[in-house]
Chains A and B, each alone.
Chain A
Amino acid sequence: MADAYDVIVIGAGPGGYVTAIRAAQLGFRTAVVEREHLGGICLNWGCIPTKALLRSAEIYHYLQHPADYGLTIEGQVGFDPAAVVKRSRGVSQQLATGVGFLLKKNKVDVIWGQANVPRPGEVVVGPPKPDAAQPQNPPPKGTLGQGTYRAKHIIVATGARPRVLPGIEPDGRLIWTYFEAMVPKAFPKSLIVMGSGAIGIEFASFYRTMGTDVTVIEVLPQILPVEDAEIAALARKRFEKQGITFLTSTKVTQVRKGTDDVTATVEDAKGARQEIRAERLISAVGVVGNVEGIGLEKLGVQFERGLVKIDQFGRTGVEGLYAIGDVAGPPMLAHKAEHEGTVCVEAIAGRHPHPIEKAMIPGCTYCQPQVASVGMTEAKAREAGFELKIGRFPFAGNGKAIALGEPDGMVKTIFDAKSGKLIGAHMVGAEVTELIQGYVVAMNLETTEEELMHTVFPHPTLSEMMHESVLDAYGQVIHK
């Protein structure tokens, strides 16, 4: 029997490692179990490496339009797919190393392998890949190995993986998930993207900028289905201008694989079918929780839609067993997982954390143009019976946006007319992912329109649009 811990976190993704560090800060003897990579999907195969790819795409985009800024470029601007990917991998590598350093600094033990919880208080760590035939990831330096570990509190933070549609199983060659899409050997000439959520749209945007013919197929009538309809429509218009084709209210019924291409049969809402051929297909139809292989079923953990059911403090109902992050329910976002984990260990420590307010978790999509939002969409707010005051402000009315050469976009704010509560904020345009946090702070502090109006925003910034949008909701807009 190995060491006894206060807290063992299973999974070193953004939720898991942050939870472990916070637990250590609170004085708990803490370990984190990981089978693949410190930093999880987010850092290795998700948020971070895609941002690196999109940055390459963004700069490439600007270099293609030097004259817009009075610049000239002699010769051809090109790209090297291998170098673009290499940079992206380098960014992930650097940050993963950083996570290892942070864990060490906080005296969190890292145990390498696949965790199983045979009973509360006990974690059995086996080989990283349970199937012995598979190549095993070598454990990083300084990590503990397989064995049985005891802990008073076990926090499951195993994350999620791409959803697979039957008949359209990713094969790593022609049908991709984000794993393959992140490390292409070459950029395909044509691409079908199934699903227009954040992941699908970001890859569509990246590959389109790099010159690929992209067709996005979305089963719902709206792309970016969780976003406000008006914002999504604006974004779609911009994407279409860039040359992306969208087929909405359309489902993929069949995919036939050729030698170096795929043919997708799609069917729209009226039942009309057509075939689309492309070199590659990315399946981005959502993710499913990694609930299997841990032994949760036998412990009596309850599940809901394939995810672990928890209360507001991450408790599963099984003594000493908790879950946080993607595996414990939507929204499946790294920042939600981090905060959920923090709340969970603080509650374990007898602190009195405030439960996470899901209505105030922002979402960001890093396409061109960017999309960012927090709170209810207009449709949801109307459905909820609110009487609304809605403000809209276009990028075209903002000095900084014009100076940047980014005149397309909008900041939309939604207020409850009765109380002045900001119930939703939605943005599309340059750098909006960096702007949204202003509204998130405002919502968390429960400001009303009055405080937002009284706040002085610096000039000239894109953030002034956040002010103007609020003013617009109350009929006081200046630059519109």
Chain B
Amino acid sequence: MPIDILMPALSPTMEKGTLAKWLKKEGDAIKSGDVLAEIETDKATMEVEAVDEGVLARIVVPEGSADVPVNQVIGLIAEEGEDLSAAASAAAAPDASAPASPGVVKPDDQVLQYERPGATAGAPLTTGTAEAFRGGKPLAVSAAGVSADGSGRVFASPLARRLASQAGLDLGAITGTGPGGRIVERDVRAAEKAPKVASAAPIAAASQPAAAPQLAASGKVPDVRNAAAPTAPDSVIKTMFEAGSYEEVPHDNMRKTIARRLTEAKGTIPHFYLSLDCELDALLALREQINASAGQSREGKPLFKMSVNDFVIKAMALALQRVPDANATWTERAMLKHRHSDVGVAVSIPGGLITPVIRRAESKTLSAISNEMKDMAARAKARKLKPEEYTGGTTAVSNLGMFGIRNFSAVINPPHATILAVGVGEKRVVVKGGAPSVATVMSVTLSTDHRAVDGALGAELLGAFKRLIENPMGMLV
């Protein structure tokens, strides 16, 4: 029997990936450990290694295939002595009915509920109530289409699912009017018509932040309830620009992930912001001393060269240890209070950004943090980070100081409860002892998930951070 090569799940959350490249050809001998193919996931490119030995009998999923579901057969290995062509043909053909996108919405997606007018007795036929009564009015009893038990399952008829997928519509964004709020054919048909209604509206109206209220006002479109996706349909957006005046660049996986995660974060996390100025002079002096003391490698390079950001990472990690209540993650049922400070660091890379995580940063030396950061940043740019290196974490640091940004607010990256936005360190006039003097000052802004970290707690955390930054020797012990 030939051995199936399956699309691997490179992270617990991965549902599908892009088969970027085959590194072996059909007929190539395979040894255990050989790299067979490269898979592009959300944010990284990963290698698929062979576990078995034999000959690559058949490539089932060609390279460049996007959205290949996890566990789909992507290729076949014929074992030693096995007839190659027989192996290739005997094995199951690629499963055409591979589980289609299940159309799952996250349980915490916000769903507005609509009322269906009560069936008051004998309302006059002539007032058009027949039309109003047509199942189109969403139900009050349940969040239509989405299970009330929070399981996130979208109830839709098979036909509705197929029509939605043909039309490229998100079932989660459609209000069901069938039995029990199930999404049925007419709901998808109505949703399909929605963009046309919008584009017929004057451009001025369409250019308002959301075309949705327009549509709702037409009384025909009950499906504008998905708070997570208030954007106008692509076709509507495109009408706002002259054809040919723009280049259309399809989203890669990273762009899609950034859009999805940040929309989700801003839409579901109640952000709360705290700003503070930290004086950097002591830290800069210490850094100079430390860097000057660095030994050299055999090639004559310094063994470490610390950046201000490395201190910021360490300070944030220690501050969380000093204010442990802020080192938390909100879940629906409980608060997860973390023992370690796993600090994510936003790294800008071509085409997007990624947040590798320095684990247990509170217990790592500054030089260890510095070296780990350099390594991960380099691999991030090559898109070679492993999923476990950029998932999880308990907080994050985003530094735009190198661009001269004085202060900004960052979007929390779930499952974190906080993120620190770090501005430029610059010389400013500060008042000391009632007299103006010059100091190097860095403004920082802490965004907190108010469900997990309240204002006072956040202020406490930021205070601890400031003390560490302004008394940096504390980070060395």
Residues of A at the B interface (CB closer than 8 Å) are 120, 152-153, 302, 309-313, 315-322, 347-352, 354-355, 418-421, 445-448, 450-451
User: How far does the Cβ of B440 sit from chain A's closest Cβ, in whole Å?
Assistant: 66
Interchain residue pairs with CB less than 8 A apart (25): A153-B121, A309-B125, A311-B125, A312-B133, A315-B122, A315-B124, A315-B125, A317-B124, A317-B125, A319-B124, A321-B122, A348-B119, A352-B119, A352-B141, A354-B179, A418-B166, A419-B159, A421-B159, A421-B185, A445-B158, A446-B157, A446-B159, A446-B178, A447-B159, A448-B158
User: How far does the Cβ of A199 sit from chain B's closest Cβ, in whole Å?
Assistant: 31
Q: Is the CB of A320 within 8 A of B122?
A: yes
Q: Is the CB of A152 within 8 A of B133?
A: no
Cβ contact of B134, chosen from A312, A321, A351, A450, cutoff 8 A: A312
User: How far does the Cβ of B117 sit from chain A's closest Cβ, in whole Å?
Assistant: 10
Instruction: List residues of chain B with CB within 8 A of the CB of A120.
Output: 122
B357 at the interface (CB under 8 A from A): no
Instruction: List residues of chain B with CB within 8 A of the CB of A317.
Output: 124-126
Can you list the 3 inter-chain pairs with the closest CB atoms, starting with the nearest? A317-B125, A311-B130, A446-B157
* Residue from A120, A352, A355 with most neighbouring chain B CB atoms (10 Å): A352
Q: Is the CB of B185 within 8 A of A352?
A: no
Chain B residue nearest to A153 (CB atoms) is B121
User: How far does the Cβ of A441 sit from chain B's closest Cβ, in whole Å?
Assistant: 12
B255 at the interface (CB under 8 A from A): no
Contacts A447-B159, A448-B159; A351 near B122 (Cβ below 8 A)? no
Q: Is the CB of A355 within 8 A of B133?
A: yes
Q: In the assembly, what is the distance between CA of A246 and CA of B44, in Å?
A: 75
B103 at the interface (CB under 8 A from A): no
Q: Is the CB of A352 within 8 A of B116?
A: yes
0/1 interface trace, chain B 128-166, chain A, CB 8 Å (1 if under): 011001110001010000000000000001111011001
Chain B residue nearest to A344 (CB atoms) is B119
Chain B residue nearest to A152 (CB atoms) is B121
Besides A153-B121, A312-B130, A320-B121, 19 new A-B residue pairs in contact (Cβ under 8 A), listed by A number: A311-B130, A312-B134, A315-B129, A319-B122, A350-B119, A351-B119, A352-B116, A354-B178, A354-B179, A355-B133, A355-B134, A420-B159, A421-B159, A445-B158, A446-B158, A447-B157, A447-B158, A448-B162, A450-B97
Q: Is the CB of B133 within 8 A of A445?
A: no
Q: Is the CB of A420 within 8 A of B135?
A: no
Q: In the assembly, what is the distance between CA of A445 and CA of B121, in Å?
A: 30
Q: In the assembly, what is the distance between CA of A219 and CA of B473, in Å?
A: 104
Q: Is the CB of A419 within 8 A of B121?
A: no
Q: In the assembly, what is the distance between CA of A271 and CA of B379, in Å?
A: 91
User: How far does the Cβ of B474 sit from chain A's closest Cβ, in whole Å?
Assistant: 65
Chain A residue nearest to B129 (CB atoms) is A311
Chain B residue nearest to A351 (CB atoms) is B119
Q: In the assembly, what is the distance between CA of A120 and CA of B124, in Å?
A: 13
Chain B residue nearest to A347 (CB atoms) is B119
Instruction: List residues of chain A with CB within 8 A of the CB of B125.
Output: 302, 309-311, 315-317
* Residue from B133, B141, B158, B166 with most neighbouring chain A CB atoms (10 Å): B158
Q: In the assembly, what is the distance between CA of A354 and CA of B178, in Å?
A: 7
Q: Is the CB of B130 within 8 A of A445?
A: no
Contacts A320-B121, A350-B119, A421-B185; A355 near B159 (Cβ below 8 A)? no
Instruction: List residues of chain A with CB within 8 A of the CB of B158.
Output: 445-448, 450-451
Contacts A446-B184, A450-B158; A419 near B166 (Cβ below 8 A)? yes
B433 at the interface (CB under 8 A from A): no
Instruction: List residues of chain A with CB within 8 A of the CB of B185.
Output: 421, 446
User: How far does the Cβ of A150 sit from chain B's closest Cβ, in whole Å?
Assistant: 15
B118 at the interface (CB under 8 A from A): yes
Instruction: List residues of chain B with CB within 8 A of the CB of A450.
Output: 97, 158
Q: Is the CB of B118 within 8 A of A350?
A: yes
Contacts A313-B133, A421-B185; A445 near B124 (Cβ below 8 A)? no
Chain B residue nearest to A352 (CB atoms) is B116
B123 at the interface (CB under 8 A from A): yes
Instruction: List residues of chain B with CB within 8 A of the CB of A419.
Output: 159, 162-163, 166
Q: In the assembly, what is the distance between CA of A350 and CA of B125, in Å?
A: 17
0/1 interface trace, chain B 397-414, chain A, CB 8 Å (1 if under): 000000000000000000
User: How far does the Cβ of B157 sit from chain A's closest Cβ, in whole Å?
Assistant: 3
Instruction: List residues of chain A with CB within 8 A of the CB of B162.
Output: 419-420, 448
Contacts A311-B133, A355-B134; A446 near B160 (Cβ below 8 A)? yes
* Residue from A313, A316, A446 with most neighbouring chain B CB atoms (10 Å): A446
Q: In the assembly, what is the distance between CA of A315 and CA of B124, in Å?
A: 8
Instruction: List residues of chain A with CB within 8 A of the CB of B139.
Output: 352
Chain B residue nearest to A442 (CB atoms) is B158
Chain A residue nearest to B159 (CB atoms) is A446
0/1 interface trace, chain B 157-182, chain A, CB 8 Å (1 if under): 11110110010000000000011000
Q: Is the CB of A313 within 8 A of B119?
A: yes
Chain A residue nearest to B124 (CB atoms) is A317
Chain B residue nearest to A310 (CB atoms) is B125
User: How far does the Cβ of A465 sit from chain B's closest Cβ, in whole Å?
Assistant: 22
Contacts A446-B157, A448-B158; A315 near B123 (Cβ below 8 A)? yes
Q: In the assembly, what is the distance between CA of A153 and CA of B122, in Å?
A: 8
Q: In the assembly, what is the distance between CA of A319 and CA of B135, in Å?
A: 22
Q: In the assembly, what is the distance between CA of A445 and CA of B180, in Å?
A: 12
Instruction: List residues of chain A with CB within 8 A of the CB of B134.
Output: 312, 355
Chain B residue nearest to A301 (CB atoms) is B125
Instruction: List residues of chain B with CB within 8 A of the CB of A445.
Output: 157-158
Instruction: List residues of chain A with CB within 8 A of the CB of B166.
Output: 418-419
Q: In the assembly, what is the distance between CA of A420 and CA of B116, in Å?
A: 31
User: How far does the Cβ of B96 sit from chain A's closest Cβ, in whole Å?
Assistant: 11
Instruction: List residues of chain A with CB within 8 A of the CB of B126.
Output: 317
User: How far does the Cβ of B108 sit from chain A's closest Cβ, in whole Å?
Assistant: 27
User: How far does the Cβ of A9 sit from chain B's closest Cβ, in whole Å?
Assistant: 15
Q: Is the CB of B121 within 8 A of A354?
A: no
Q: In the assembly, what is the distance between CA of A315 and CA of B129, in Å?
A: 10
Q: In the assembly, what is the distance between CA of A446 and CA of B134, in Å?
A: 18
Instruction: List residues of chain A with CB within 8 A of the CB of B116.
Output: 352
User: How far does the Cβ of B163 sit from chain A's closest Cβ, in whole Å?
Assistant: 6
Instruction: List residues of chain B with CB within 8 A of the CB of A448.
Output: 158-159, 162
Q: In the assembly, what is the distance between CA of A186 and CA of B440, in Å?
A: 116
Q: In the assembly, what is the distance between CA of A347 and CA of B117, in Å?
A: 11
User: How far does the Cβ of A322 sit from chain B's closest Cβ, in whole Å?
Assistant: 8
Contacts A421-B159, A447-B158; A318 near B119 (Cβ below 8 A)? no
User: How far does the Cβ of A349 sit from chain B's closest Cβ, in whole Å?
Assistant: 8
Instruction: List residues of chain B with CB within 8 A of the CB of A302.
Output: 125
Q: In the assembly, what is the distance between CA of A419 and CA of B160, in Å?
A: 9
Q: In the assembly, what is the distance between CA of A120 and CA of B178, in Å?
A: 33
Instruction: List residues of chain A with CB within 8 A of the CB of B122.
Output: 120, 153, 315, 318-322
* Residue from B119, B130, B133, B163 with most neighbouring chain A CB atoms (10 Å): B119
User: How far does the Cβ of B177 sit from chain A's closest Cβ, in whole Å?
Assistant: 8
Q: In the assembly, what is the distance between CA of A349 and CA of B123, in Å?
A: 14
User: How far does the Cβ of B180 sit from chain A's closest Cβ, in whole Å?
Assistant: 10
Instruction: List residues of chain A with CB within 8 A of the CB of B141.
Output: 352
Chain B residue nearest to A421 (CB atoms) is B159
Q: In the assembly, what is the distance between CA of A87 and CA of B126, in Å?
A: 48
User: How far does the Cβ of A422 sit from chain B's closest Cβ, in whole Å?
Assistant: 9
User: How far does the Cβ of B124 sit from chain A's closest Cβ, in whole Å?
Assistant: 5
List residues 84-127 of chain B with CB under 8 A from any CB of chain A: 97, 116, 118-119, 121-126
Contacts A419-B163, A419-B166, A421-B185; A355 near B135 (Cβ below 8 A)? yes
Instruction: List residues of chain B with CB within 8 A of the CB of A319.
Output: 121-122, 124
User: How far does the Cβ of B181 sit from chain A's closest Cβ, in whole Å?
Assistant: 10
User: How far does the Cβ of A4 sit from chain B's closest Cβ, in whole Å?
Assistant: 15
Q: In the assembly, what is the distance between CA of A368 and CA of B119, in Å?
A: 45
Instruction: List residues of chain B with CB within 8 A of the CB of A349.
Output: 119
Instruction: List residues of chain B with CB within 8 A of the CB of A347.
Output: 119, 133
User: How far does the Cβ of A327 sit from chain B's closest Cβ, in whole Å?
Assistant: 15
Q: Is the CB of B135 within 8 A of A354?
A: yes
Q: In the assembly, what is the distance between CA of A282 and CA of B118, in Å?
A: 48
Q: In the assembly, what is the distance between CA of A320 and CA of B135, in Å?
A: 22
Q: In the assembly, what is the distance between CA of A239 and CA of B362, in Å?
A: 91
Instruction: List residues of chain B with CB within 8 A of the CB of A313.
Output: 119, 130, 133
User: How far does the Cβ of B251 sit from chain A's closest Cβ, in whole Å?
Assistant: 27
